[in-house]
């Protein structure tokens, strides 16, 4: 039996609400609530900016610096991952000014990071995703204080 394209418009035809509720119960980090979004953007920032430590100089680097070494493609990939944080900010209802600042951070990182050699050094020093995480945390702490995690 072939599925006709006109019948594929509604996802509810394929997944029941009960199945969606089961997925949300098993994977709470996939939710759209502010606490789940905080966990996702913090994890993404960790992967992009602080995944590894360079021995000898004790400098944290992440995929942004490493993947950025690949000309053009690496910068496109890391810019897309940084843009995901801006998209999550939109899901939180952050102001256009905050999202514009975040998009500018990603744009500066992508544009200057694309310059051969000097861009790789720039990626090593400029942490756009950490800056964006600070903006998101400030918003969450003000508007959703229940999402704060006390670290010891």
DSSP, collapsed to helix, strand or coil, labels residue 52 as strand
Encode pLDDT of 21-68 as tens digits.
Answer: 777 777 666 677 898 899 999 999 999 999 999 999 899 999 998 998
86: Cβ–Cβ under 8 A, 6 or more apart, which residues?
Answer: 99, 102, 103, 106, 132
Give the whole-angstrom CA distance, residue 10 versus residue 14: 8
Per-residue pLDDT band for 137 (boundaries 50, 70, 90) equals very high
Give the whole-angstrom CA distance, residue 74 versus residue 48: 12
**25-48 burial string, b = 16+ CB within 10 Å, else e?**
eeeeeeeeebbbbbebbeebbeeb
Give the whole-angstrom CA distance, residue 31 versus residue 63: 25
Encode pLDDT of 114-124 as tens digits.
Answer: 888 888 889 88
């Amino acid at each position: 039996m072939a599925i006709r394209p006109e019948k594929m418009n509604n996802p509810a035809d394929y997944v029941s609400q009960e199945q969606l509720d089961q997925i949300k119960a098993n994977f709470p980090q996939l939710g759209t609530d502010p606490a789940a979004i905080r966990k996702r953007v913090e994890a993404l920032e960790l992967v992009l900016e602080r995944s590894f430590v360079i021995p000898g100089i004790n400098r944290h680097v992440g995929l942004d610096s490493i993947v950025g070494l690949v000309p053009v493609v690496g910068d496109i990939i890391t810019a897309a991952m940084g843009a995901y944080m801006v998209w999550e900010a939109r899901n939180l209802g952050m102001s256009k000014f905050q999202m514009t600042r975040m998009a500018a951070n990603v744009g500066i990182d992508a544009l200057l990071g694309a310059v051969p050699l000097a861009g790789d050094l720039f990626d090593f020093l400029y942490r756009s995703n950490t800056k964006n995480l600070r903006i998101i945390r400030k918003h969450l702490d003000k508007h959703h204080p229940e999402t704060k995690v006390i670290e010891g």
